Structure 1
């Protein structure tokens, strides 16, 4: 095993060991008379810092795993979530930079030796980091400001190695994130890894979104300028912050406004582009202030992970949500069977199926719904409670491959809306943009 790969593996493997060690130290402190709550808070804070610092340093699959978890932070119990929140937010927007010389080598390899004649100026330091690359600001030869995303050398090997190692450590990492099943999350990331490594695929997807949302009053998608397999150049998006800032300190008006734009983007994308943006974490959504710094538009970045939905949203998805929202248990089970969510020989109690899925469709039952961390925590607590009669339903449901990214994006979207604490006419959005829901 190469030295760098061995070092990365050792860092990942040390995370559950460190957690266990801190718990042992915590036991000693409790025996010494220190309050249990204070000890656990200290353990969680230190563990959170190490976990997400390590994930950020490793970039690749480890950082992507952390970004995916960051969206589900709202599902954690508050006493667990508080010490993790700051580190998660940091991870969404940052990672250690690669040397300038390496960046230039990558540009030459992808754009040709004369790249500097087209990219006439390049900032010496990165302005942002992605899970497998970093972004620099530059100037194109026609005067346009551009964003230059450059993939880390060896990112493919690092991504695959990280995800493989995280897969092995799934059971031991689980105690660090109670209430969230990390195994399917890692498996899904492994499935999509190859696609996200080819920036040419990302460029094709971004072109489709940029054309579709050209002139939209609330949503902005930068156009693609140039690129290759490991370099992507797009128009520069001038923004002040990401949704992470609105989550941390936004006003009620900002939370509702940008949350509604975020939801509209996710809902309308499949119908007008044939694709679903499937990487909903706050760092990918940028705030573009309106006149005098007022409520403005939402810029959307990073099209490496998209679900290609020929014909838009599946009609059955709208029917499933409508039957669940209307508490039609028998109709819900029949549709689930037809779509492959329940296999032919699997016997289920229709009322228990409805009870199990009910929390996820609660926003579709009222004209306006108030998302919150409390709601998200209660939802996850219910579906993860082995004492709940509906808990056994989870063992009988099957997730068809065609719904894999839809499922991930739906959960991630609910997580972000809960972090934003957005109040939105969710039912009306479903009726307008999700085929089958209003039928």
Structure 2
């Protein structure tokens, strides 16, 4: 059987496995909405998680992404899918050798002084092996699982069907553009040469931030399906939190994370779109962080970044006219005033920690479900006012804010968030950002898109 046939049958099997879950969602939600049949959506969501969690990588990543986009899926499903983790079975050594030979040629082992046979870590689209170059440099080799392009395309088709069904039945948000954004980012993530360029970009943007380390790609050992980069030593932030470090250490991690995400945004119009806890490590000895996994990167036009700052100013000043203009800059078109006021409540929630010039926690209530409750209120308001179309620019920004906020909450960090924000945005000019952005993208070799 040819590789193309294997790819086709693998995709069909995958669609059969996910189609059952999608059909189940449709039947249960439709039954409750149109026929009055009460169903246990919580139990069904658990079943859905088990089905999707057993798949290899992309659908898990999609589920994590959607769990942070308000109203993309029913709340029960979003809550369960948010707990998914990468659990793809590791490729065995014999298979790894064949894959490495395909990427670097039959003499590939001669290009390393040593190469770990066991995977050191799992990524959403591949697995990582630790190796050493002949000059002694320790490296990480991220090797993509086979047939990932067809796997991603099958997942995307199933995802589109699920989102369309939910949109017709219950959702107050039109997530068609959010789907297009996710599709673009997932397809880009398959290209490890692109990720290597984005890694170089972050190395440039954060070069003067000693608390933040970015792995550097080894270009001669990188292909579209193999990314070789310098190895960084670090540990899990969750494990470190469980060890109850003091406030000064927790604040150091929070300060570095804030700079790692928001300095690139406000100075270069670039955001790391995946604040998953596995995508950074802490370095206990010097209280810094390692920033990892650069497959999901979004480059915004300078006007969008200007809109982010304008929305902050609108919330600060209680200026509805400025808020309406900022939302339009973000891509929300033709908003009725009542709908804009509902979205404004979400903006107040996101910007609230930045408004007060004092040291404080990111969220001053100890209720971990507070953000979900605000989202539910916004959802109800949007349904009441006729819904809204979510622009492509929104999901990754929203995901970064919610994802990082949850980390700051777990850290119980106490910082002056207002001053951190003002230091990055003071003297902002769209023209200067455009110049910095163009120069950095060109220097790193990031392709357009």
CA distance in 2, matches of 1:255, 1:406: 24
5 Å-filtered alignment, 1:10-409, equals 10-15=16-21, 44=42, 47-48=45-46, 50-69=47-66, 87-88=83-84, 91=85, 94-170=87-163, 186-214=179-207, 216-226=209-219, 227-241=222-236, 243-245=237-239, 253=247, 255-271=250-266, 275-290=270-285, 296-309=287-300, 314-337=305-328, 340-343=331-334, 346-349=335-338, 351=341, 354-355=344-345, 357-367=347-357, 368-371=360-363, 373-385=368-380, 388=381, 392=384, 395-396=387-388, 399=391, 401-402=392-393, 405-409=396-400
CA distance in 1, matches of 2:51, 2:189: 22
Question: Residues 146 and 83 (structure 1 numbering): CA distance in 2 closer, same or farther, change over 3 Å?
Answer: same
CA distance in 2, matches of 1:126, 1:275: 31
Aligned-partner SS, 1:341 = coil
TM-score (structure 2 length as normaliser): 0.75
CA RMSD of aligned residues (A): 4.0
CA distance in 1, matches of 2:193, 2:137: 21
TM-score (structure 1 length as normaliser): 0.77
* Per-residue deviation, 1:364: 2.2
Question: Which of 322-331 and 417-426 deviates more?
Answer: 417-426
CA distance in 2, matches of 1:426, 1:67: 26
Structure 1 stretches lacking a partner, 5+ long: 24-38
Aligned-partner SS, 2:337 = coil
* Per-residue deviation, 1:133: 1.2
The equivalent of 1:26 in structure 2 is none
Question: Residues 137 and 422 (structure 1 numbering): CA distance in 2 closer, same or farther, change over 3 Å?
Answer: same
* Per-residue deviation, 1:235: 0.6
CA distance in 2, matches of 1:268, 1:109: 38
Name the count of aligned residue pairs. 404
* Per-residue deviation, 1:248: 6.5
* Per-residue deviation, 1:413: 3.2
The equivalent of 1:7 in structure 2 is 13
* Per-residue deviation, 1:154: 0.5
CA distance in 2, matches of 1:290, 1:184: 44
Question: Residues 246 and 333 (structure 1 numbering): CA distance in 2 closer, same or farther, change over 3 Å?
Answer: farther
Q: Is 1:256–1:423's contact at 8 Å kept on the other side of the alignment?
A: yes
* Per-residue deviation, 1:409: 3.0
Question: Which of 422-431 and 4-13 deviates more?
Answer: 422-431
CA distance in 1, matches of 2:385, 2:255: 32
Question: Residues 239 and 110 (structure 1 numbering): CA distance in 2 closer, same or farther, change over 3 Å?
Answer: same
CA distance in 1, matches of 2:330, 2:136: 51
Q: Is 1:316–1:436's contact at 8 Å kept on the other side of the alignment?
A: no
Aligned-partner SS, 2:113 = strand
Question: Residues 171 and 435 (structure 1 numbering): CA distance in 2 closer, same or farther, change over 3 Å?
Answer: farther
Question: Residues 138 and 181 (structure 1 numbering): CA distance in 2 closer, same or farther, change over 3 Å?
Answer: farther
Q: Is 1:317–1:436's contact at 8 Å kept on the other side of the alignment?
A: no
* Per-residue deviation, 1:393: 5.6
Q: Is 1:57–1:96's contact at 8 Å kept on the other side of the alignment?
A: no
User: What per-residue deviation string (whole Å, max 9, x for no partner) do you get for residues 175-230 of structure 1?
Assistant: xxx99997665443212222111111100110121234346332111111230111
